[in-house]
Each structure stands twice: as structure tokens, then as C-alpha cells.
């Protein structure tokens, strides 16, 4: 996506969110909560675990449905999002990482979004997402990405006026963006490291809750292929529970989890391995 479009969408959604206190009603609030859950799950389950890491497989109709809902989060097309994330794992916490806090907290939180186009021009070629670029559906979403959120905004306005638009598009989108940004920044600064990953990734329980399991970030960097990121029973991972349900009814297949041997190799101490 063009840098100018990124800057405009970023600014527009944040300005819209500022109107939240002036257009509050409970219907608009619950619309925002429902859309937050749908779009957040679609980022964590679809963009991240299914498309970026191929942690499990879904029937194409369901894979494409989740991906479409992920587009409504205003975090980029699947092609762009997955490409950036794969670069992050390839160069984690080095100067080639697009959003590492070694360049500063605020840069890793949101500064990189409006800057990476000029600093990392090669990233815009999306060389690491050939699996997505060869599918017409993901090419379509890439070139029409902002249009789908505009359509959602029109539907929200038609259904509930400015309160639905402000809360369903503005407040919901900004909150989800900030939670996602926090995985890039906070989860590489504050939290606990239990696995030897050779980077700054941390487990952060609060973001584990708010980001539906993504906050167990040190777990993820230790076993990036794993469909489950909350590896202990008490590490709440809502996205994993949904994947597990889809597996139980036969919709999710080839679900990948870390082996005991891999856990022992990655453990900082013997007590970190799980039964």
C-alpha cells in the first residue's frame, strides 16, 4: 500500500476515534466489541498463524472468509501483512527488522508504519509471499484493500448513524491497532523470557488476554510454527481455543505443535519444559 494511503488511513481512524465520547451509546459500543473480536481473531488466526506461519490448514472457503475479515482491521492486505511479519521473523531484533525496539520504543510501536516504505524499499516487492501472490483472491484483496473498510463504514453509518461509524470504525480500529502495535513494541521490552530465542521477545500476560493469545510472544518466537502460543494451561490463548474447536469438527487440519524434544532444546532451564 502507498505510504500516503497508509498515513491518511492512520490519521483518519485516530481522528474518528477521538469523537467516541461524544457519540457513545450502548448499541454502538457492543457493535465495536463484536467487530473487535471478529477482526482481531481474523488477524491472529488467519493473517498470523494460518497465512504467515502455516500452522494449520483450513478449507479455502473458510481461509478466505477469515482473511476477508482480517482486511477490515485496516492493518494492510494479507500479502503486505504476511510479508512484513515474515521479514520480522527472519531478522528479529536486528537493523533489518522493520519494527524492532532496538530502534526505539515509539518507532517499533507505530513509527515504522509510515517510514518503512522509504527505509526498506525491498520489502514492497513482497518476495517472501509467493504462496499468496499466486492466488487471485489475495491479489484482489491487496489491490482493493481500503475499499472493503470504506464499504463497512457505509454500512455502519446506514445502520446506526455517526455512533456506529465512530465506534465501529474509529474506536474499534484504533484499539485493535494499538494492541497489535504493542506486540511489536511492548512484547519485545516488558515481560518474561522462558525460551532461548536469541532475541528480545517476551511473554506478556496482559497482551495475552487483549490480543487473544498473541501476547505469549516469547513462546511464539521459540516455536513460530506452532498453532498454539499459550503453551501452559494458565496461558490463556483464545485463538488456540478456536483453532482447537475447528480441528475437533474437522475444519482445521495439519495442526502443528512443538514437540517435547524441541521444547527441551529451546528451554532456558529444565523447569521450562512442559508435561
Query: What pLDDT, on the 0 to 100 scale, is given for residue 123?
Result: 62
What pLDDT is stored for residue 188 in this prediction? Answer: 97
What pLDDT is attached to residue 111? 87
Q: Contact, 163 vs 38, CB < 8 A?
A: no
Is there a contact between 187 and 202 (Cβ–Cβ < 8 Å)?
yes
For position 274, what pLDDT does the model report? Answer: 42
Q: Tell me which residue of 70, 75, 61 sits closest to 6, measured CA to CA.
A: 75
Residue 202 Cα distances to 116, 169, 179, 255, 271, angstroms = 24, 30, 15, 24, 17
**Eight-state DSSP code of residue 259:** -
Tell me, what's the pLDDT at 181? Answer: 96
* Predicted local distance difference test score (pLDDT) of residue 7: 74
pTM over 0.75: yes
pLDDT, residue 273, reads: 47
* Dihedral sign (CA 60, 155, 80, 224): negative
Please answer whether residues 67 and 42 qualify as being in contact, where contact means their C-beta atoms are separated by less than 8 angstroms.
yes
Between the alpha carbon of residue 240 and those of residues 4, 87, 197, 217, the distances in Å are 36, 24, 21, 14
Question: Which residues in 120-275 belong to E strands, given as ranges?
Answer: none
The residues near 85 (Cβ < 8 Å, ≥ 6 apart) are 47, 48, 52
Residue 133 CA, chain-centre distance (Å), reads 19
Residue 4 to residue 112: CA distance in whole angstroms: 14
- Flag residues of the chain having pLDDT under 70: 1-4, 116-124, 269-275
Which pLDDT belongs to residue 275? 36
Amino acid at each position: 500500500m502507498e505510504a500516503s494511503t497508509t498515513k491518511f488511513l492512520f490519521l483518519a481512524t485516530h481522528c474518528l476515534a477521538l469523537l467516541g465520547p461524544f457519540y457513545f451509546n450502548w448499541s454502538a459500543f457492543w457493535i465495536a466489541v463484536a467487530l473487535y473480536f471478529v477482526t482481531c481473531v481474523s488477524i491472529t488466526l488467519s493473517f498470523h498463524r494460518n497465512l504467515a506461519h502455516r500452522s494449520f490448514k483450513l478449507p479455502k472457503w473458510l481461509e478466505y472468509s477469515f482473511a476477508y475479515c482480517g482486511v477490515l482491521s485496516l492493518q494492510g492486505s494479507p500479502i503486505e501483512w504476511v510479508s512484513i511479519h515474515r521479514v520480522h521473523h527472519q531478522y528479529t531484533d536486528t537493523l533489518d527488522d522493520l519494527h524492532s525496539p532496538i530502534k526505539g520504543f515509539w518507532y517499533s510501536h507505530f513509527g515504522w508504519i509510515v517510514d518503512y516504505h522509504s527505509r526498506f524499499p525491498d520489502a514492497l516487492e513482497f518476495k517472501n509471499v509467493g504462496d499468496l501472490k499466486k492466488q487471485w483472491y489475495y491479489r484482489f484483496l491487496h489491490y482493493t484493500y481500503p475499499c472493503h473498510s470504506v464499504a463497512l463504514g457505509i454500512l455502519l453509518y446506514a445502520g446506526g448513524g455517526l455512533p456506529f461509524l465512530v465506534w465501529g470504525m474509529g474506536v474499534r480500529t484504533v484499539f485493535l491497532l494499538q494492541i497489535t502495535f504493542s506486540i511489536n513494541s511492548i512484547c519485545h521490552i516488558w515481560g518474561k523470557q522462558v525460551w532461548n530465542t536469541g532475541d528480545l521477545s517476551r511473554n506478556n500476560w496482559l497482551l495475552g488476554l487483549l490480543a487473544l493469545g498473541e501476547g505469549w510472544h516469547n513462546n511464539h518466537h521459540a516455536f513460530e510454527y506452532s498453532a498454539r502460543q499459550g503453551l501452559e494451561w494458565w496461558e490463556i490463548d483464545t485463538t488456540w481455543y478456536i483453532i482447537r474447536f475447528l480441528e475437533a469438527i474437522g475444519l482445521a487440519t495439519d495442526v502443528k505443535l512443538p514437540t517435547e524434544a524441541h521444547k527441551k532444546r529451546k528451554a532456558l532451564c529444565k523447569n521450562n519444559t512442559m508435561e
